[in-house]
Amino acid sequence: MSHATSPESEPTARTSTGRTNSPPAADRAYQHVKAGLLDGSYPDGALLSEGEIAQSLQMSRTPVREAFLQLQAEGFLRLYPKRGALVVPVNPAETQALMEARMALETFAIDKLAGQGTDMLRAVGHELTEHPACDATDLSDADMHESDRAFHAHLVSAAGNSIVADLYNTLRDRQLRITSTARTHEPPRRDTVTHQHTQLAEAIRDGDPERAKTQLREHLLHTVRALGMSGGTFLERD
């Protein structure tokens, strides 16, 4: 007697070692929903349906429910029984804290590179001017946000302090969420952001750390203001 199987329990293709190529259904559901949260497909205040997501992924509701619970624990969702999962709006205090942390870490990177000599500063600046974030014309919205994050991560990593680089990388999800919420991928903000990246990269390439830090501050303030928020005294100072 044959037994029906749910979509997520159906056999998947196996490798020569006998391992399956497909991740568990709960992981697939988690990655799918989180990607939508980070790229803005699921905007602040949206109510996500467990059933609709399960149907779109061709799986039962159980793994989607598990994904929702994990994302609630991470602060992205708030669950309401029999109604769905609310996308928690970006918190102004968290946004300001994130931008202050970025300013501190990226400023450190610029100063550290400058301390290693003008040649090092210029070399990193040249790498940054060639980065896709300086010309996002052909990038998708999701790639635009990821490229933006990668541009700044490259700057921090180039300073050669692994602790600072690791700290910066822990901000990844929050960075992507905030830039997507600020709609920095949409015209004319897309053009403004890529121009600001170019200005920052050129200041570093020209061996001018003070100008670079000024460009960085303006760039971060642009995102904060796009959300209708204040940068606070740390970012707004002269």
Q: What is the CATH number of the domain that holds 224?
A: 1.20.120.530
pLDDT confidence tier of residue 154, bands split at 50, 70 and 90:
very high
The verdict on 134 and 203 lying in the same domain is: yes
The verdict on 124 and 66 lying in the same domain is: no
For 18, residues 6+ apart whose C-beta sits below 8 A from its C-beta are none
The verdict on 123 and 194 lying in the same domain is: yes
The verdict on 134 and 51 lying in the same domain is: no
Q: pLDDT exceeding 70 applies to what percent of the chain? A: 90
How does pLDDT run across 23-58, given as a tens digit for each residue?
799 999 999 999 898 888 898 899 999 999 999 999
What is the reported pLDDT for 238? 60
How does pLDDT run across 174-217, given as a tens digit for each residue?
888 888 887 776 778 889 999 999 999 999 999 999 999 999 99
Residue 10 has pLDDT above 50, yes or no: no
Q: What does pLDDT average to over the chain? A: 87
The verdict on 112 and 70 lying in the same domain is: no
Domain of 35 in residue numbering reads as 20-87
Q: What is the CATH number of the domain that holds 63?
A: 1.10.10.10
The verdict on 97 and 155 lying in the same domain is: yes
Count structural domains, the chain.
2
Higher pLDDT, 157 or 187: 157
Indicate the pTM of the whole model.
0.78
Residues 235, 103: contact at Cβ < 8 Å?
A: yes
Query: Which of 70, 87, 104 lies at the terminal end of a domain, its last residue?
Result: 87
The verdict on 107 and 222 lying in the same domain is: yes
The verdict on 174 and 155 lying in the same domain is: yes
Q: pLDDT exceeding 90 applies to what percent of the chain? A: 61
